[in-house]
């Protein structure tokens, strides 16, 4: 059974998991992007490779994750893991999840700071234009 993975839906899921708003993603993608354009992107079943790679880089996830994540399969794996007493649980992860979380929060903070700085520059520019 060859199921189509919905790239746009996966972009939205990863974006939301990272706590990034559509406006922030649009800002990072560049001047021709808007919140509305990101919303339309998230509705597309298939996203071209280069754009997918760009979005993945901003979201700090592998492009392959966006291309292959299947929520239904993930739920089935989680469900069967909880219903199967013989499931193996790795209590010694090779990374500290808290460190990864803090790292993601720091990246979000930097993203919001850049967005705020851009907004300040716009306000300053508007003030200068009104003063003339």
Distance, CA of 95 to CA of 66 (rounded, Å): 22
Note the pTM of the prediction, 2 decimals.
0.54
Q: Identify the three-state secondary structure at position 123.
A: helix
List the one residue out of 116, 79, 5 whose CA is nearest residue 14. Answer: 5
Q: Which pLDDT belongs to residue 1?
A: 47
The per-residue pLDDT for range 43-99, each reduced to its tens digit, is 999 999 999 999 999 998 889 888 887 766 655 555 555 555 555 555 555 667 788
**Domain residue limits, the chain:** 1-85, 95-132
Q: What is the CATH number of domain 1-85?
A: 1.10.260.40
Distance, CA of 90 to CA of 92 (rounded, Å): 5
């Amino acid at each position: 059974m060859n199921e189509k993975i919905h790239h746009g839906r996966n972009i939205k899921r990863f974006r939301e998991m990272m706590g990034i708003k559509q406006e922030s993603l649009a800002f990072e993608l560049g001047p021709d992007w808007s919140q509305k354009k990101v919303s339309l992107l998230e509705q597309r079943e298939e996203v071209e490779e280069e754009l997918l790679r760009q979005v993945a880089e901003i979201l700090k996830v592998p492009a392959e994750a966006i291309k292959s994540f299947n929520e239904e399969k993930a739920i089935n794996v989680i469900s069967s893991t909880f219903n199967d007493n013989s499931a193996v649980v790795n209590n010694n992860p090779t990374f500290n999840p808290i460190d990864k979380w803090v790292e993601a929060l720091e990246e979000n903070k930097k993203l919001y700071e850049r967005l705020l700085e851009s907004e300040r520059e716009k306000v300053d520019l508007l003030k200068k234009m009104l003063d003339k």
